[in-house]
Amino acid sequence: MSKVSYLTEEGLQRLKTELEHLKSVERPAISRQIAEARDKGDLSENAEYEAAKEAQAMLEMKISRLEGSLANSRILDESMIDISRVQILNKVKIRNKATNAVMEYFIVSESEADIKAGKISVNTPIAQGLLGKKVGDEVQIKVPSGVITLEIILISR
């Protein structure tokens, strides 16, 4: 049984676009590479052919994974998200109690995570430590560099 993934409308559209690109652009390109390598003669000693076949297998695996993700995705209505406690699709402003640094993260599904855009996966240690907490709560979260104490300042959509 596959794991259900909760996405925003934007995230779902991005996955569909990527899948369409893989099927309509990447797949035909690899097929052409295989045909060109096949035309060069003896397949048993043709490194180009082997590399193209391997690339094709990797592409098909990626397409299959994306199709599985899409089949098990559910769109969350952002307007219905409760902001009294931290949950997926919440924007959370937190303060590191040791350094007084303030950070803001948007908690999203694994496939939508983009740390540069401030979107962290619901499966990260920080998001896991924040889930279910309220404004004013202090949480201790174990991260690779040790344990940090964070205070929740604001929860929004």
Q: In the prediction, which pLDDT does 73 show?
A: 84
Full DSSP string of 6-33 = EE-HHHHHHHHHHHHHIIIIIHHHHHHH
Q: What tokens does 116 get? A: 């540069």
Instruction: Catalogue all structural domains in the chain, each as residue range(s) with its CATH number.
Output: 5-75 (1.10.287.180), 80-156 (3.10.50.30)
Distance from the first to the final alpha carbon of the chain:
31
DSSP bridge partners of 6: 74
Q: Residues 103-114: pLDDT tens digits?
A: 999 998 887 888
Is the model more confident about 80 or about 74? Answer: 74
Q: In the prediction, which pLDDT does 4 show?
A: 75
Q: Residues 114-129: pLDDT tens digits?
A: 889 999 998 899 999 9
Q: Which of 19-33, 77-91, 101-115, 135-149 has the lowest mean pLDDT?
A: 77-91
Q: Which of 16-20, 47-51, 99-103 has the lowest mean pLDDT?
A: 47-51
Residues 6+ apart with CB under 8 A from 96: 102, 103, 148, 149, 150
